[in-house]
Amino acid sequence: MGAMKKLVLSAAVAMTLSCAVVHAEGEFPTNGLTRVDVTSAVCNGWFRQASWNCKPLTIQAYVAAPEVQNKKAVVIVSHGSEGMSVLQRWYIDHLAKQGYYGIAINHWQPRGINKAQFGYAAASLGQGGNTMNMALDVMAVAKWVRDDTRFKGYKIGHLGESMGAAVGRELNREGFIANLAASALGYVGQPLDAYAAMYMGCMERSNRDRFLNKPMPLVNGTLDDETTLEQCQKWLPWFKSRGGVAELIAMPNEYHHFDSWYAMQYFGQPQNPRECANLVDPDKGTITDDKTGNSYPATTEGFAEHRKACMKYGITAGSRNQKPGNGFDLWTAFFDKHLPPSLTSASAATSARPMEPSDMTHEQRTGEILRELTGGKK
C-alpha cells in the first residue's frame, strides 16, 4: 500500500451502540499487512451544544492488497464492540482473494477501549466509543483512499459486524456525518458506494433522519437474542420510508456472531441492548424508549441514563464450525454487484474460498440470495 500517510478526521457522539461478545482468544494478526497511521480525533459531548469537544487522536488501519488486482474497489471494515479480532483479518483476507483492497480499522485501541460491551455508556461518554466516531474514522480512511492517485476512480464499500454494522447506517444518514466532519475538521466527506451490515442492531431512529439511496443488505440470524431479527423487521419499513435502500437477509438457526472464530455458547457478562430501541426527537430534545414510553434528555447524560434503564445482560453467540466463510458468500456477491467496474474481464476474477454451509437449509437459502443479488446469475 506504500508509505504511511496521515490525515485528520473527527468523530461525534453516537446514539447507537450495538454489541458483540467477549472472548480472550482470536487476536488480530498483522503479518503481511500494510499499516497506515491516520491522525484522527476523539469527540465527546452532544453535537452543536456547549458540551461538544474533539481532541486529536492517531488511529491505525491495516491494508490487505488483492492477490489478483482485477477490481477497482476498496472495502473498509469496522469491528464490533469487542474490538479487533481475527474475524476482521478473515474479512480482509477474503476480500483480497476476490480482487479487492481490504482495509480494517482499529477504532478501539487508540481510544483506550478494551471491550465496549462491558460498559456502553461509559465508553461513549468518556472515550468516543460509539458509532459516530467510528463512522467518521471510516470517512477519513475513504478520503485517504480517494486522495491517493493509485486508487483514482475506485469505488469504496463498507463492511461492518455488530456495532461496526451500525456504522454503515450512520454513514447512510444523508448529510449528517458530512456536517459533523465539516464542523470538526473543515472538510465534507463524500458518501461511500455500498454498505454491508452483519448482525446489525436496529434500535435507533431520529425524526430528522433521511437516508442516501445506497444499497445495504442486513444479514441477521433468526435466533440472535441481541440484535434481533424482529427488531430489524420493524425498523426496515421506517428506514425505507426515509429514502434508505436495504434488504433483510435471515440466516436460519444462527445466533449473534455466527461467522466468528469461537464456538457458539452463552456469555453472561456482556451488556445486551436488545430492549433499548428508541426514537430521538432533536426538536423536542428527547430520547423516547419504544417499550416503556419514558423520555430522557437528548444529551450525553440522557443517553447514558436511558442505557442504564434499558440494558440487559447475557447473550448467546458464536460459530458452529469456527472456520472462515459463514455468510461471506452473501456480502461477496453484494460487493461484486455494486462496487466494480472490473479491471479485466469477468472470467479473470479470482475464485472464492469454498463455503461450508452449516446445513442444507442455509445452502438452499444462500443459492436463492446469490441469484437475487447477481441478477439471476449463479
**Three state DSSP letters for the chain:** CCCCCCCCCCCCCCCCCCCCCCCCCCCCCCCCCEEEEEEEEEEECCCCCCCCEEEEEEEEEEEECCCCCCECEEEEEECCCCCCCHHHHHHHHHHHHCCCEEEEEECCHHHCCCCHHHCHHHHHHHHCCCHHHHHHHHHHHHHHHHHCHHHCCCEEEEEEECHHHHHHHHHHECCHHHHHHHHHHCCCCCCCCEEEEECCCCCEEECCCCECCCEEEEEEECCCCCCCHHHHHHHHHHHHHCCCEEEEEEECCCCECCCCCCECEEEEEEEECCCCCEEEECCCCEEEECCCCCEEECCHHHHHHHHHHHCEEEEEECECCCCCCCCHHHHHHHHHHHCCCECCCHHHCCCCCCCCCCCHHHHHHHHHHHHHHCCCCC
pLDDT greater at residue 279 or residue 370 = 279
Give the sign of the dihedral formed by CA 79, CA 82, CA 85, CA 90.
Answer: negative
pLDDT greater than 70 at residue 238: yes
Which whole number is the average pLDDT over 249-268? 95
Q: What is the pLDDT of residue 249?
A: 96
pLDDT greater than 90 at residue 90: yes
Which whole number is the average pLDDT over 335-351? 62
pLDDT greater than 90 at residue 210: yes
Burial class (CB in 10 A: 0-12, 13-18, 19+), 285: middle
Q: What is the pLDDT of residue 21?
A: 41
Crossing angle of helices 176-185 and 131-147, rounded to 10°? 80
Q: What proportion of the chain, given as a percentage, has pLDDT over 70? A: 77
Least confident of 27-31, 51-55, 94-98, 320-324: 51-55
How far is residue 60's CA from residue 176's CA, in Å, rounded to a whole number?
A: 24
pLDDT greater than 50 at residue 348: no
Q: What is the pLDDT of residue 126?
A: 67
pLDDT greater at residue 102 or residue 143 = 102
Fold adopted by 34-196+211-273+312-373? Rossmann fold (3.40.50)
Q: Count Cβ atoms below 10 Å from residue 263 Cβ, excluding itself.
A: 12
pLDDT greater than 90 at residue 167: yes
Identity of the residue numbered 43: C
Question: Strand 312-317 vs strand 265-272: parallel, antiparallel, or unpaired?
Answer: antiparallel
Q: What is the pLDDT of residue 58?
A: 86
Crossing angle of helices 163-172 and 131-147, rounded to 10°? 70
How far is residue 326's CA from residue 248's CA, in Å, rounded to a whole number?
A: 17
pLDDT band at 26 (very low <50, low <70, confident <90, very high): confident
Q: Mind listing the pLDDT tens digit for each residue in 292-317? A: 999 999 887 898 899 999 999 999 99
Q: What is the pLDDT of residue 55?
A: 82
Mean per-residue pLDDT over the chain, rounded: 81
Give Cα separations from 222 to 183, 219, 246, 256 (angstroms): 40, 10, 18, 9
Q: Mind listing the pLDDT tens digit for each residue in 112-148? A: 887 544 444 455 556 788 898 998 899 889 888 988 9
Identity of the residue numbered 99: G
pLDDT band at 376 (very low <50, low <70, confident <90, very high): low
Annotated domain spans of the chain: 34-196+211-273+312-373
Q: Mind listing the pLDDT tens digit for each residue in 38-69? A: 877 788 776 666 667 888 788 899 999 998 88
Which whole number is the average pLDDT over 180-208? 84
Q: What is the pLDDT of residue 323?
A: 86
Q: What is the pLDDT of residue 17?
A: 33
pLDDT greater at residue 275 or residue 271 = 275
Which whole number is the average pLDDT over 78-89? 94
Which whole number is the average pLDDT over 68-84? 92
Grid coordinates of 116 = 465496549
Q: What is the pLDDT of residue 65?
A: 96
Q: What proportion of the chain, given as a percentage, has pLDDT over 90? A: 54
